[in-house]
Structure 1
Amino acid sequence: MLSETPSHPVVPTFSVAERDRRWDLARGFMERAGLDALLVHGEHEDAGAAPFAYDTWFTNDRPGTTVVFPRAGDPVSLFPMEMFAKGHLESARRGEILWIPPRDVRASRDSRAVADTLHELGLRTATVGVVGLDGAPPWHPEGIMPYRLWAALLEEFPDVEFRPVGMDLARLVMPLGTEEVAAVRHSAGIGDAMVRAMVDAAAPGVPESEVYAAGMAAAHARGTTPAAMHFWTGPDPLARGLPPWSYRPQAPRVLQDGDVVSAEVFSNLGGRHTQHQVTIAVGEPHVDLLRAAGVARAAYEAALGAMRPGRTFADVVGAIREVLEAADGWEFGPSIHALNPPIALSGFPADGGRQVSGAEAYPPEPQHPTMNGGLVLEPGMTFALEPNYVYGRHLAYLGGTVVIGDDGPVELNPYTAQILHAPARR
């Protein structure tokens, strides 16, 4: 067993008490909403960043299941394939804490298995809250429930009132418990280690894929398997997303003096996610990059001033917008969004990117309004604070994860709330 060292700190875990806290919250939610059960459809386990994985909140287990939770009983987890059962059994043999016992596991989660479970639990004429029908940013604006599964359930249960409750449940689970906050802190520490490894690896003559690999290796060595990071390099990269060599057969770029590594690093522990915005200058940074970073940093500090219990998400967005609108460049993307789960997102102007040469060839973007601005901040909520700004083609993206504390914000990643520097020569 590893003793605690800077490279291998003790890993926080979720106890049976945390299970009971969550299940009691769910039962209270069903009682207040007049629900007889919850039906929760989770996304495939390899979904990547911002997964729709509310099933894991109930199970503390492998994502990609469907959960049926009767108000008067314990949740039932429906597995997508037999390999899930094999992993469950192996964990039991090792003595790991499992929240769902074998008696409450089902071998399939197709429409027949879900219907059989509803019949088994006496829910033929019930009111069932469904998680998976509501829109879920950023990847599922129309919901995630499969059409054929949903159509089959509606046909077989004409006397059941199925009610979308995804957003209500998301608001319920967003203020994290003490054990969850500990997991977020640990995840944030892993994220910082990933970024430091990337800074150490970045230098002229180094393929960008080696910088990427250094960050991912730091995460794997610390006991987590994050989603693939967003990663671009160049003298003035103006993009967000997976590196092109991850989806097209082409060679990674080789870094040069004056380049920038622009990345969004994702870390997680036990389904509690952190995000880290990374701008690494290789050698001397361009003056416009420094100007953009100054604006982004001022917006970061303005947001921290507004991130207090009782304020709204719109208040925080307003504080950021006041700084950005006073400058004479443009905002690339959202500057803050909720985490765990990502149910609130700051809006940003749609016309800024039209200034970029070549943008006129693409369809115009719609306006980007703030989502869920009325969300009232509570202790335990987590946010990705990621202000960004552009001068010319020079994009500065800064920030990391912030937790709402009892008296104000707690910065978990001040390291990435600044331009980072890799030397021009090793």
Structure 2
Amino acid sequence: MIELKTPDEIRLMHTTGRFVAEVLTEVGRLADVGVNLMDLEHHVRGMIERRGAESCYWDYAPSFGRGPFRNVICLSVNDAVLHGLPHDYTLRDGDVLSADIAVSIDGWAADSARTVVVGTPAEEDLRIIRATEEALEAAIGAARPGNRLGDISAAIWAVAREYGYPVNTEFGGHGIGRTMHEDLHVPNKGQAGRGMKLRPGLTLALEPWFARTTDRITYDPDGWTIRSADGSRTAHSEHTVAITEDGPLVLTRREAEVPATRTTAARPAADTP
């Protein structure tokens, strides 16, 4: 069942979204060479506790995971891209770290993710991060009343094609509101003009993620961490977005974030043939 939110309910989600943005800003600041993933996990636990928020991840037990998730943030490194289980790993120079978090405050959830390079960046890693950021902004731009769900998916796919990255459709965006995952799956690949018509009050977590050279995935023995099947590096960007009468409202925008714009002429050649 799809629940449209009132303007007051969207304002409550925005409060949660601002806190999620604050957490991801802090994780990006702390992620450095020599930092252990469990240090980041425990730091975020403290932030959530002090704010009086509730983790949407703790004890989460969907069909695709192995048992309840017992962490408050997903931390995925290099070829890992989704649902990375924090563990005893110390970040190294050049690592790519994707951080994904969802929390609830006063019964309203928000979900967001970002990818950063630790230490010295490689151009190809910056490129795939930029691609997911541009795809996210394109998806946000398509999240307008009167458009259709397929317009969002097509916008993401168009950016992926321009960069030459394949697209996996097993995991993508989703509805969000009173819980982290509500009805509506938003694939990162689709056809414009197809699917449900978008209406004011619809709230979605949009999350393009790409691997450099494959659209296939594998799971770690932990039952959670998803990696590119060929070991190629990955990136993931996500925002919670409300569709309003005036257009899309990003509820998880980070304070110093500069929305990515599509600048085809400035892009390097594609990684894939």
Q: What is the TM-score normalised by the length of structure 1?
A: 0.47
Instruction: Return the offset for 1:211.
Output: 1.0
Native 8 Å contact 1:257 1:283 kept in 2: yes
Please give the residue correspondences for 1:115-264 in structure 2 after superposition, counting only pairs within 5 Å.
Answer: 170-171=1-2, 174-228=3-57, 229-234=72-77, 236-243=78-85, 245=87, 252-264=88-100
Native 8 Å contact 2:203 2:241 kept in 1: yes
Whether 2:224 is the aligned partner of 1:382: answer no
Three-state SS of the structure 1 residue aligned to 2:102 is: strand
> Percent of aligned positions with the same letter in both sequences?
24
Instruction: Return the offset for 1:265.
Output: 0.6
Aligned AA (2:53): T
Map Cα deviations across residues 165-215 of structure 1 (whole Å, 9 max, x no partner): xxxxx22xx211233112101110110121122223222222110112222
Equivalent residue in structure 2 for 1:294, among 126, 130, 152: 130
Query: Residue 402 of structure 1 corresponds to which residue in structure 2?
Result: 241
Instruction: Return the offset for 1:404.
Output: 0.7
Whether 2:233 is the aligned partner of 1:411: answer no
Three-state SS of the structure 2 residue aligned to 1:266 is: strand
Aligned AA (1:232): L
Please give the residue correspondences for 1:267-416 in structure 2 after superposition, counting only pairs within 5 Å.
Answer: 267-332=103-168, 334-340=171-177, 342-347=182-187, 374-392=195-213, 393-415=232-254
In 1, Cα distance between equivalents of 2:29 and 2:127: 24
Q: How many residues align?
A: 220
Query: Residue 267 of structure 2 corresponds to which residue in structure 1?
Result: none
In 2, Cα distance between equivalents of 1:407 and 1:262: 31
Native 8 Å contact 1:279 1:396 kept in 2: yes
Native 8 Å contact 2:149 2:196 kept in 1: yes
Instruction: Return the offset for 1:408.
Output: 0.7
Higher relative contact order (CA 8 A, sep 6+): 2
In 1, Cα distance between equivalents of 2:84 and 2:26: 19
Instruction: Return the offset for 1:348.
Output: 5.2
Aligned AA (2:82): R
Give me the CA root mean square deviation: 2.5
Moved segments of 4+, more than 4 Å: 416-419
In 2, Cα distance between equivalents of 1:313 and 1:253: 39
Higher helix share: 1
Three-state SS of the structure 2 residue aligned to 1:218 is: helix
Instruction: Return the offset for 1:233.
Output: 4.4
In 2, Cα distance between equivalents of 1:385 and 1:258: 27
Between 1:288-297 and 1:323-332, the stretch displaced more is 323-332
Please give the residue correspondences for 1:38-49 in structure 2 after superposition, counting only pairs within 5 Å.
Answer: none
Native 8 Å contact 2:81 2:236 kept in 1: no
Higher strand share: 2
Instruction: Return the offset for 1:332.
Output: 4.6
Native 8 Å contact 1:238 1:395 kept in 2: yes
Query: Residue 136 of structure 1 corresponds to which residue in structure 2?
Result: none
Gaps of 5+ in 2: 58-71, 214-231, 261-273
Query: Residue 268 of structure 2 corresponds to which residue in structure 1?
Result: none
Aligned AA (2:132): A
Three-state SS of the structure 1 residue aligned to 2:110 is: strand
Distance 1:198 1:244, change over 3 A: closer
Instruction: Return the offset for 1:308.
Output: 0.9
Native 8 Å contact 1:231 1:261 kept in 2: no
Distance 1:386 1:418, change over 3 A: farther
In 2, Cα distance between equivalents of 1:176 and 1:310: 17
Aligned AA (1:388): W
